Structure 1
């Protein structure tokens, strides 16, 4: 029995020390790897981060429970021999420090922010457990001062995390945007003065003038503007502004401050819209995407990290207290007479102290090098608090971060993954595997998200140019004046809003109607639901891509292919990001897959499956006569769009040189339709998974005025007029 007791005691010591060191290791992992998830969409990075995020709290809670148990069952008696109880009391606040977590991650998903109250209760319970351990070590604790200092540091970090979760919770984030309420003119005082003058027979009247944002409308960059021609666009590009990295961050932070209410559906004035449109129409496509990337990075920091807490005066004070208390505790332990401590316990304590100090300085360096510091330093300079040393340091930092072409530097400083996931329907039907293997492959594909194309500037230029063209002439001066002069009529007269709404709701019609030779293609977007349109145009794009021999150098060919596969990927793998109007896409997709499988089986029944190529399948599909509509043959029960897509591909083939230009414009419209109709909350969810191109397009559309979130805001002003 005595042997079993000794073994149990040894296991308790090893278990406790192992749990503490593992807790420290998880903190080190999270502080370095957590930021990577917004820059890299690899599934294994997301999985590792998720696992470490969940396990870190469990291990810290478990280790703190072991310390409390050890103190309760014999730590005090053992401390008379080797001061073990003093070390237990000293180790406890380190676990509070670990529970506070690194600055780089407070929430793995948006739903974690709603659990801020649970973290607050956990703080109270864990503080009580650590306080009990400390109380049991009194009054002979040789580390009493150092332990108190570590308690200060641990509590500070835990409060920071709980506060960050609280501020990022949906309800609090929304409430924080309503900082002040303007109740307008003082009605009671005005009416008292009016009544007093009337009773004294003073000729007086009330003049009410409803001032709106008309003055900003008159300065609208779109007022009276017509659609730009290609030559005008080229000239605009040559005169566009070019932004350095500091200007990008400054502009992004300004727009983040103005438009962060997007996440909760706030309405913005036309003054804010016009300022944004004017700026984005004056810069290059590359700079526009850089500003949007940086702005989304601020959204990520507010929702998933401690940035909203740390980058405040109180946050700087808390950080100074935390660092100061930890360093002081380290010094006190270093100069302490350690007689009575076991050597391995001393080494573990030094490991904890060095780890705590190291994590604090890593967090401090990240804080100094963050976009927040650069943006806030610019504000300080505007108020005359410019520091030449700080300014030169920031310039050096930005110069280094601008050289992020390599993968390693992108992982360190990139703002999103720049990964455009792909899903190709015909490719997926040519993978011949047994059913059980196919099921495993589909599961693995869901984890790793399939094939990936890297974002290219040419793709950004195409999207930006199309959005810029679409945003022009959306608000003519006459209609704007009518809206500003309206006192409620516009609410029942929706035709005055159609110029913006129709272009936001366009799923390809706007691109096709502008071309006289594309009228026959309108039925393929106008007479079908959104999900059917995506599937049909995807197959048609694939047929054109794999059968054309004279247009492989066309600059729009590859872009159309990438957008086509990306939109199908979103519909299949990320349906939550697509519009609710995708309809019965799942049934339609399954029927189409079944018809492709049957066509391949019937056409190539006597050939080896390895010899069947995508090019041969596409050529065979286009060789089928399609003089009769598939619906007239199959009826409405079958939802496949395979041969409707063949008809569309043949129509596109007759357009020859303009085919890929038209396809690229249609795909941009299908993308923008999904982007603007996806809930902002869903866009925010993707920021922690490497980001999505559709999210960048959504925010870019808002900045170019292509959103119904902008309305004229009346500012009524009333005054008493005394008539002579």
Structure 2
């Protein structure tokens, strides 16, 4: 019975995965939900597997004797090209991760193998009563599969970097223009200050302006993904425009840049939005519709009724998926960018918003949070459960469920970060000075304040490793935040809340996104484990920790305990602030240094304390943003993205990068 049904079931399952992917794949760019990611990952892998299996079933069944319930060879050969369409995949996903783009050669080989298999199946069925529609569908499937392979090739790291490398002639031309049009002081690293006022971005930006500016800046920031840097004109243009923008508009433009970046790295848009892409898409659509019409007009009295239903399902699915892809392509941001008619732009944008298919991105509205002290409390209560999930290799997955929480990212916090970085940018017209600012990890901020205790200043010295500084300030922030003698005014302090959100966010990145933070994390994982042990030791001796009850804790694991955990966390922080000493913590431990830092910070006036701490946290965030490679930021786009990526883009647009713009060395040596 399975032999009679396997092919029919396989081709329908293959179609189901295509429908699933075209609608759910875009959702992964604006959610960090692990269930959504798991669903997309499973559908992405199974879609290719079931399509290849189906082609194999067709080839193995051709020419074999079978009973009346088997699929006829003519019809099976007609089904085979549909699987090429499925292997081409929807426009909404070509790669699940960046690493998939590096496998474009394997996909190219797969293209040739599957084409050969489909041709073989067709050859075995000759003479075939569905010969013409089969040939038309074959060419349509070939186009779709080739589009996917081409998209993977264009998004691979080597090709991306090669396509953006400036030619020697271009560099010479740029330097010549700079020397001809700027005062001679440019030779000492000064930047061009002339600017066409008409080219400044209007303020505030309309939705159309956001799309067009997002695309313009995407063409520039692509360089950062492959470890290149801006040219002088690009840095100048980007810096000027962003200095004129409001915080709200800047984040909207950066959101759009990330949309374009996601499309270029994970979808077919970079292939199909070109003129030749539109031409092939039109040809493909015509071929599919003509195949449908030819099959519908053909005599089918020799076919099983069930097979006719399956064939029409495949045809309707092909037409429907192609129609959805075509509509999404026509009413896309790329179309808006290519139009020069304001009325047409408004119409396309309005329709695009209505047909967004859940693709509206809100990457910058939430940040993940993780607290070292909360981790200590929960870890002690669920130690038994951790051993079980660790045995099955699921520890990281359940750690996110247990320890991670989301906090809304308010407009006030965005504005605060934006203004902090903007104020630095205004002082960093010289690229060399901007490099110095980027290397600061709290010391630049503290240098602006007098009479600070040496332990505060020493915690951010250049010699101290970044992860060490971050952990010290995280412990200190938790203790200061949960201090029990705050006035109502201080409890409502914005800077106090900013510190807590940024502190927990940075620890989340270090603990749960180590791959992204690999450039700055040092031996953070070792330090964190050591600090956990020290904190647990102190807390156990001063808190009433009951022996764990396995059934009670299993029940608690699946219940919301936010209020209870918050109370325990406050008590824990107050204990650490009062009881942590050299004997228990060790004079060289992060925990002791954090507690000592908290004591010195608490001696400052309330307003001054939280102002200093919030500015230090922005500088620590900025340091991590610029020192994480562009590739690390790009790898997060398919998982909902990270807020630190916005900070990375913002600093780049303000000209705050460690690498000097292209041409600076050449110009700097001209005298």
- TM-score where L is the length of structure 1: 0.81
Higher mean alpha-carbon deviation, 575-584 vs 505-514, is at 575-584
The separation in 2 between residues aligned to 1:633 and 1:85, in whole angstroms, is 77
Q: Distance in 1 between matches of 2:328 and 2:500?
A: 39
Q: 1:279 to 1:392 in 2, by over 3 A?
A: closer
RMSD: 2.9
1:445 corresponds to 2:409: no
Q: Does residue 630 of structure 2 align to residue 650 of structure 1? A: no
2:558 equivalent to 1:624: no
| Cα distance in 2, alignment partners of residues 650 and 469 from structure 1 | 30
1:444–1:303: structure 2 CA closer, same or farther, 3 Å change rule? closer
Contact conserved, 2:58 with 2:76, CA < 8 A, in 1?
yes
Report SS of the residue matched to 1:516.
coil
2:377 counterpart of 1:430:
yes
Residue in structure 1 matched with residue 505 of structure 2 by the alignment: 566
1:163 corresponding residue in structure 2: 150
Aligned to 1:503: 437
Conserved 8 A contact 2:538-2:580: no
Moved more, 49-58 or 254-263: 254-263
Q: How does 1:195-594 map to 2 (within 5 A)?
A: 211=179, 214=182, 219-220=192-193, 241-377=203-339, 381=340, 386=341, 388=343, 390-397=344-351, 411-414=358-361, 416=363, 418-431=365-378, 432-433=380-381, 435-440=383-388, 442-446=395-399, 448=401, 450-475=404-429, 497=432, 499-518=433-452, 520=454, 521-526=456-461, 528-548=464-484, 549-550=486-487, 551-578=490-517, 580-594=519-533
Instruction: Give the Cα separation in 1 of the matches to 2:172 and 2:104.
Output: 39
Q: How many residues align?
A: 626
Q: Which residue of 25, 36, 51 corresponds with 2:16? A: 25
The CA deviation string for residues 162-181 of structure 1, in whole angstroms up to 9 with x for no partner, is 11111111111122224755
Cα distance change, pair 580–219 in 1 and its aligned pair in 2 (3 A) = closer
- In structure 2, relative to structure 1, the CA distance for the partners of 1:343 and 1:625 (3 Å cut) is closer
**d(CA) in 1 for partners of 2:507 and 2:54?**
47
Compared CA separation, residues 56 and 712, structure 1 to 2 (3 A):
closer
Q: In the alignment, is the contact (CA less than 8 A) between 2:520 and 2:624 conserved in 1?
A: no
Q: Would you say the 8 A contact 1:563–1:668 is kept in 2? A: yes
| Cα shift at 1:373 | 1.6
Distance 1:704 1:117, change over 3 A: same
Following superposition, the deviation at residue 621 of structure 1 comes to 2.1
* SS in structure 2 of the partner of residue 413 of structure 1: coil
Under a length normalisation based on structure 2, what TM-score does the superposition of the two structures give? 0.87
Q: Which secondary structure state, in structure 2, belongs to the residue aligned with residue 582 of structure 1? A: coil
CA-to-aligned-CA distance 1:143-164 (integer Å, 9 cap, x gap): 1111111101100000000111
Q: Could you give the per-residue CA deviations for residues 276-303 of structure 1, whole angstroms, max 9, x where no partner exists? A: 1111011111111111111111111111
| Aligned position for 1:491 | none
Map Cα deviations across residues 484-540 of structure 1 (whole Å, 9 max, x no partner): xxxxxxxxxxxxx2x222210111111111122446421111153211111111111
Query: For 2:453 and 2:255, how far apart are their aligned partners in 1?
Result: 37
- 1:672, CA displacement in angstroms? 0.8
| Structure 2 gaps, min length 5 | 196-200, 390-394, 549-563
15, 26, 49: which one aligns with 1:58: 49
Contact 2:585-2:591 within 8 A present in 1 as well = no
User: Do the aligned partners of residues 316 and 180 (structure 1) sit closer, same or farther apart at CA in structure 2, a change above 3 Å counting?
Assistant: farther
> 2:274 & 2:622 partners in 1: Cα distance?
36
In the TM superposition, what is the alpha-carbon distance from 1:411 to its structure 2 partner?
A: 4.0
